[in-house]
Amino acid sequence: MNYLVVVAHPDDEVLGAGATIHKLVEEGHNVAVAIMVSQAAARKDLSSTLLEDEKKAFSIVGVEKAYHADFPNIQMNTVPHLQLVQFIESCIEDWKAEAIFTHHPSDTNNDHVQTSYAAQAACRLFQRRDNLPALKELLYMEVPSSTEWSFDTSANRFSPNYFVEIGKEGVEIKIKALSAYKGVMRPYPHPRSNEALEGLAAYRGVQAGCNYAEAFECAFKRE
């Protein structure tokens, strides 16, 4: 199956689904990543070798192809929604995507929110294109240091209902891929520390009754 991971920034794909991506590739599936803000120029400690970092991370988890847009960092709300949707639609068509992973719409990072809503709209592309099959899955990821900071009590916060067992090896692969991005990892107790990532995977595994897991919220799934 062809999976498309649609994220706002470089590293979001590993934070949210790095071990799952690796597992899918190992099982024979194909994974591509679409990045909305390729430069992330407003990021603290921005790596001067971000593209090279990204390639290294992708090689670790097994991402086959990357799509890059250049929407403004932390200003995606200033971009017409249609432009965001059309970029994702072009990726869906080119990759012949059958399933999408993206951000949860209640993330505290507004770029994540705009990406999520645009991905949701792009999921309806089959209704506007002849001979294009409907997607089989739409899954929301949890991105540490963003998803858990959803303060809006009126919103439907991230509520995992889909768990992928990744094992200790999956946790190690995820941390290794994140470490390829310079300036991303932090010392404990930051959410992007080795200890926090392993602890979250252990907790999600306990919830699902398995040996470490990444958690997702399934918006829809069909055979």
CATH code where residue 67 lies:
3.40.50.10320
Instruction: Using the Cα atoms of residue 30, residue 5, residue 16 and residue 203 in order, give the sign of their dihedral.
Output: negative
Q: Is 150 helix (H, G, I), strand (E, B) or coil?
A: coil
pLDDT of residue 47: 65
| pLDDT at residue number 108 | 94
What is the tens place of the pLDDT at every residue in 63-89? 999 999 999 999 999 999 999 999 999
**Residue 203, domain extent:** 2-221
Q: What is the pLDDT of residue 183?
A: 87
> What pLDDT score does 40 carry?
65
Intervals of the chain under pLDDT 70 = 40-47
Which is it for the CA torsion 152, 159, 178, 122, positive or negative? negative
* pLDDT at site 211: 96
pLDDT the model gives residue 44: 59
Q: Give the count of domains, the chain.
A: 1
The secondary structure of residue 182, as a DSSP letter, is T
The pTM for the full model equals 0.96
Q: Which residues contact 114 (CB under 8 A, 6 or more apart)?
A: 8, 36, 76, 77, 79, 81, 84
